[in-house]
Structure 1
């Protein structure tokens, strides 16, 4: 925790520095919601089939969803959303002709039922 999922349109595949974004994102998230970088995970999902607004192929999207343990204030979640929106353009190369929509959604994981474990592979 937090679990971060980044959906992005295929027309950004070459322009989006995903690894750079994730490695910059994790310390930012850790600082803003008081967790450890080691707890952060980010998964990227490319979508080659999408319709944005009027369906024009010049439209692109990056949607970040951060699932964090419940109990953070609305203000803390808003700060996280704003910080992620500021970070995203730094990892998107200029793409002439594209209009890129970026969005962030911070959702709560139920603290009472969420469980996680990290251990060496094959040891159980």
Structure 2
């Protein structure tokens, strides 16, 4: 369970390559060596309606919400967050050339007692 949800303001369509962002963040998650391939999910959700700061129409945001299962050290979580934030910053760098963009990331641990999963992908990737 590492699930990364990218929420972004709809006015980024045509201004940011969200597909590349998904691909690069997926690769960064895998590169940490902390998560099994079959568990990684990266998805992007466009916010059609939003009101940002002083409500200028060019204001935009990308919010990264990374949900993971328990079991990683504070240092592992910090390094993972830094890696993800760096990748997002690289992909979205042109947006920082204006004073109208905000990027955020939060890592949340999931309580395994309150999380249900059924995954048919794991056996295939594990060769079972």
> Where on the TM-score scale, by shorter chain, does this alignment land: which range?
0.7 to 0.9
What residue is the counterpart of 1:109 in the other structure?
110
The answer as to 2:120 corresponding to 1:118 is: yes
Query: How many aligned residue pairs are there?
Result: 120
Q: Return 66-75 or 33-42, whichever deviates more.
A: 33-42
CA drift at 1:5: 0.6
What residue is the counterpart of 1:79 in the other structure?
79
CA drift at 1:97: 4.7
What residue is the counterpart of 1:54 in the other structure?
54
CA drift at 1:93: 6.8
CA drift at 1:26: 1.6
CA drift at 1:15: 2.0
Q: Return 100-109 or 22-31, whichever deviates more.
A: 22-31
Map 1:1-124 to 2 at 5 A: 1-32=1-32, 34-92=34-92, 94=94, 97=98, 99-112=100-113, 113-118=115-120
Consecutive unaligned residues in structure 2, runs of 5 or more: none
Q: Is the 8 A contact 2:25 2:88 kept in 1?
A: no
1:73-94 CA-partner distances (Å, limit 9, x unpaired):
2222222222112111332373
CA drift at 1:41: 0.9
Which portions of structure 1, spanning 4 or more consecutive aligned residues, are displaced by more than 4 angstroms? 95-98
Structure whose residues are more often helix by fraction: 2
Give the TM-score taking structure 2 as reference length.
Answer: 0.78
Query: What RMSD over aligned residues (CA atoms) do the two structures have, in Å?
Result: 2.3
- Secondary structure of 2:88's aligned partner: helix
